[in-house]
Amino acid sequence: MRSRRGALAGLALLALAPPLACGSSTGAVAPLAGSPAKILLVKGYALQAILAQDRNISRTFIGRTTYVISIDGSRPAAPRLAGAVEPTANYASFAAFATDMASGRLPGADHAVMYDIEKWTATPVAEQQHPLEYMARFSKLAKAHGLLPILAPARDLTLVHGGSCVKRQGENLSQAYIRCDLAGADADAAVLVVQSQVVQYDVPMFHNFLALAVKQARAGNRRIAVVAQLATAPLGRVASLAELVSAARSVGELVQGFSLNVRMADIPAAQELLRWFNRP
């Protein structure tokens, strides 16, 4: 969910969809068969940029619930969409979340909270070292206050020095993520975002990683919604719509949706993806 390489805006699409038809070699993508996405998670400034460039795209939200995520304390006004809009707060630190809850600083308009726990300065080292403990505490506290808990642990938590579970020699990050049970969602969590975008170009690997993550998540929480993350330019390589769809198609029957990181320069690609999910 981060913005480490370039100015990233996050757009998360949770699509309740069947397997998708293959795209052509020219880059054209066959439309989605079946119902369109029922739930969307969208970072507020990304949604504002998408709507600013094409107001007609607001029609793609008909019949959906959209979680509008605030970043870095910014709380843009929730846009008027055809579907339901749920303001969502984003936290990279459990300590900050607990402090806000104790002091009453979390706006009453927020209905959900996301825990973006990663190996970065925004997450305290103690939380990085013990991610399962702090994710469970985050979910429990959120649920106790009537909020929807969304967990987004990064694969690089297995690289944290002194961590409770770290990457072994010969493992890749996806293998370490699974062995360390980072997808093992606690009973109070509502949504798990699997940060899988770095492997999206290797479709078999992407599929296998998500298959293991979903199985692990459901073992601890049968009701959790699992979301696969995609990006318009993971590690700086720009993805085509056909490539994004190919990855999405491979896990269409495994996950409840997709999380998309999109650079501000790639807002048109996000618009096309929204339109694509709505084609009959």
Report pLDDT for 4: 41
Query: Hey, which bits of the chain come out as E strands?
Result: 8-14, 39-43, 65-70, 84-91, 112-115, 148-151, 191-194, 225-231, 257-263
Domain ranges of the chain: 8-277
Which residue carries 């507020």 as its tokens? 44
Architecture of the structural domain at 8-277: Alpha-Beta Barrel (3.20)
Tokens matching residue 158:
């297995």
pTM, full prediction: 0.85
Q: Please report, in tens digits, the pLDDT of each residue of the chain (280 residues total).
A: 654 434 444 544 444 333 333 333 334 444 333 334 566 777 888 888 888 888 888 877 777 777 788 876 666 566 777 777 888 899 999 999 999 999 988 877 888 999 999 999 999 999 999 999 999 999 999 999 999 999 999 999 999 999 999 999 999 999 999 999 999 989 999 999 999 999 999 999 999 999 999 999 999 899 998 888 988 899 999 999 889 888 888 988 898 878 878 888 999 888 887 777 666 5
Question: Residue 186 and residue 177: Cα distance in Å, rounded?
Answer: 16
What is the DSSP secondary structure assignment for residue 188, as one 8-state letter? T
Q: Which of 224, 206, 203 is nearest to 215 (CA)?
A: 224
